[in-house]
Amino acid sequence: MSWQHFPHEADVGVRGLGQTLAEAFEQGAVALTAAVTDPESVSPREPVEISCVGQDPEILFVDWLNAVVYEMATRGMLFGRFEVAIEHDRLRATAWGEPVQVEKHQPAVEVKGATYTALRVGRDEEGRWVAQCVVDV
């Protein structure tokens, strides 16, 4: 499992890689956090349950990231660890994190939302699952 950023004009591309679709979604959310701060700096103190539904894996990925952005914004939290379960068109997850502490997390940007730009969910040439899109910062 791993995550990456990829360049896209003024915004940030986030990409999650995993052996399963759920792992790729988890890592995509870590990449989202990494656009804001170092995910390793976020203590997994508080669990937050998140669920969403999408008509296909691509829509589900964007909805998932937007649900994470919503929870970050409304709770004033950052998340560094995610556990995702996907069954058909439904995603259920737990995100672990803590309230934002400017001096500790030194947030670089605020993510406004996930977009359909560069959206891709599927397997790469090595058979790993890849989930990616551009997030608006």
pTM to 2 decimal places: 0.94
Looking at residue 9, what is its pLDDT?
74
- Burial environment of residue 52 by CB neighbours within 10 A (0 to 12, 13 to 18, 19 or more): buried
Alpha-carbon distance 49 to 3, whole Å?
Answer: 22
Looking at residue 54, what is its pLDDT?
93
Looking at residue 77, what is its pLDDT?
97
- Give 47's strand partners: 96
Alpha-carbon distance 121 to 137, whole Å?
Answer: 21
Q: Which residue has the tokens 């891709």?
A: 120
The stretches in the chain having pLDDT less than 50 are none
- Class level of CATH domain 2-136: alpha beta
Looking at residue 85, what is its pLDDT?
98
The most distant pair of C-alpha atoms in the chain lies apart, rounded to whole Å, by 41
Residue ranges of the domains in the chain? 2-136
Residue 53: count other Cβ atoms within 10 Å of its Cβ: 11
Tokens of 126: 């090595």
Alpha-carbon distance 21 to 86, whole Å?
Answer: 8
